[in-house]
Amino acid sequence: MPEDIIPSRMVGILGGMGPAATADFYGKLIKATPASRDQDHIRVAIWADPTVPDRSRALLEHGEDPTPWLERGVQHLMECGAEILVVPCNTIHSYLDSVIRDRDVEFISIIDAAVEAAVERDSPGSIGLLATDGILGTGLYQDSITDAGVQALLPSDNDQKVLMQIIYSVKAGKTGDTEREQTASLVEGLRCRGVGTVIAGCTEISVLLTQLNTDIRIIDPSWALAVKTIQRARSTLA
């Protein structure tokens, strides 16, 4: 390797869940990298498989188990030389423990990265959480927020239904004014309940955050994951 190239460990992105969220994450990974030329960026391999069964349906409606798809994806990434594994999909984290167990790869959780980002600058009394029915049902985000010493506040039942409709709209390629206005309304609803920080715990919602006009602090898990990924990729520690 030329002496002026900054070394990095190979990052494997297990994506396709959904495609827009994967592309959005890679764009953020590039943007978050301190770079003045191509050679300053980290090495990345992307496996994007949009045929992975619906994660929320698998968790809540006994739908098809996505584990075999995930195992194939991780195997392909490791064959490409991935030393760090990231997954820009929140809900799928329910399945990842068994998939990466006994594999020689460092895993960076998007959930842990988001919660760390939410509490690192201040100590909010509560954190609002926008996430899929599936990930909320697992309690992974709520547990991580509670472990950080903070209370998690969730949308009302009706707002949660609206949120799921927005998520599936984004998966269908709809990211227009209607979807953005609906997302802004959900954030405002949490703000009115006294929340000063909201985690957009679904990568489809993260896609809608651009130019969201609100005084509430929004944590984008994809951005938090990108920042942490760059730090770890540039680290010589395994």
Provide the annotated active-site residues.
89, 202
CB 11 within 8 A of CB 44: yes
Q: What is the Cα–Cα distance from 49 to 69, expressed in whole angstroms?
A: 8
Structure tokens at 227: 């920042």
Collapsing DSSP to helix, strand or coil, 85 comes out as strand
Query: Do residues 110 and 200 touch, judged by C-beta distance below 8 A?
Result: no
Is-cis flag, bond preceding 18, omega within 30?
A: yes
Residue 102: half-sphere exposure toward Cβ, Cα within 13 Å: 2
C-alpha neighbours within 13 Å on the C-beta side of residue 83: 14
DSSP E strands in the chain: the ranges are 11-15, 44-48, 84-86, 106-108, 126-131, 151-153, 197-201, 217-219
Residues facing residue 47 across a β-bridge: 14
Cα dihedral 201→206→207→212 (10° resolution): 130
